[in-house]
Amino acid sequence: MKKLLRNDAFQYLSLSVLLTLGIYAIDAAKGLIVAETVYVTFLQVLDIIIAVSIFIGLFQVWVKPPTIVKWLGKGSGWKGFALVCTFPILMGGSLFTVFPLLKTLRDKGARQGAIASFITAWGGKAPLLPLETKFLGWPFALVRLAFVVLFAFLMGLLMDWIYDKSRPSIEEKGA
């Protein structure tokens, strides 16, 4: 029971249920709207959650830690930064897809800077380029993408620097 109470998903779910019940207690009509919205949203993302879970499971089995360390670990150097500063821009998907993937990458040996660069570059969203260029124009889109890559690179370097600098003090505290 204690393990369940410490589980983040259980805590978020409990808080959501309590908030919905609180809103229902104050205004039943609004409470029903909240409950219906939650239900519809859950059904909309359920297929994404299932697909991502399968993908992450396959990734866990097929991609071995040495491969992740080679491409995204401490010794990957510039090729690792180039990969995580550009490839995620090409990815589509939602938050439901990227964070479980990043946790798996980190667990398999990707360095903190690679994770930070990946998250930053993922915001580039190349699949949305046609829409962006239609409304904002090519110059805006290209400059924004250039900044995404630049800041993904800088974010990774900064995260590695901060993590490497703070790591000895964290280990000393644990000893």
Q: Please check the confidence at residue 162 and state whether its pLDDT lies above 80.
A: yes
Average pLDDT, rounded, for the chain: 82
Q: Residues 6 or more apart from 110 whose CB is under 8 A from it? A: 68, 69, 72, 73, 102
In tens, the pLDDT along 107-128 reads 888 889 999 999 999 888 877 7
Coil/strand/helix, residue 64: coil
CA distance 116 to 82: 13
pTM as predicted: 0.63
Rg (CA), the chain: 20
Cβ count near 60 (within 10 Å): 12
pLDDT band at 168 (very low <50, low <70, confident <90, very high): low
**Residue 169: CB atoms within 10 Å:** 9
**Residue 14 pLDDT more than 80?**
yes
Cα separation, 122 vs 149, whole angstroms: 10
- Range among 41-50, 57-66, 107-116, 118-127 rated most confident: 107-116
Please say if the pLDDT value at position 175 is more than 50. no
pLDDT at 172 over 70: no
Q: Higher model confidence: residue 147 or residue 126?
A: 147
* DSSP 8-state code for residue 118: H
More confident residue, 89 or 106: 106
In angstroms, the CA 125 to CA 144 distance is 11
How confident is the model at residue 5, as a pLDDT? 66
Task: Give the model's confidence band at 16: pLDDT under 50 very low, under 70 low, under 90 confident, else very high.
Answer: confident
Q: CB under 8 Å to 20, separation ≥6 — which residues?
A: 31, 34, 35, 38
Residue 161, SS3?
helix
75: which DSSP letter? G
Nearest residue to 80 (alpha-carbon basis) of 107, 113, 104, 57: 113
Looking at residue 4, its pLDDT comes to: 66
Classify 165 in phi/psi space as left (phi over 0), alpha (psi -120 to 50) or beta. alpha
Question: What is the rounded average pLDDT of the residues 63-80?
Answer: 76
Nearest to 16 by CA among 38, 47, 36, 33: 38
Residue 51: what pLDDT?
A: 75
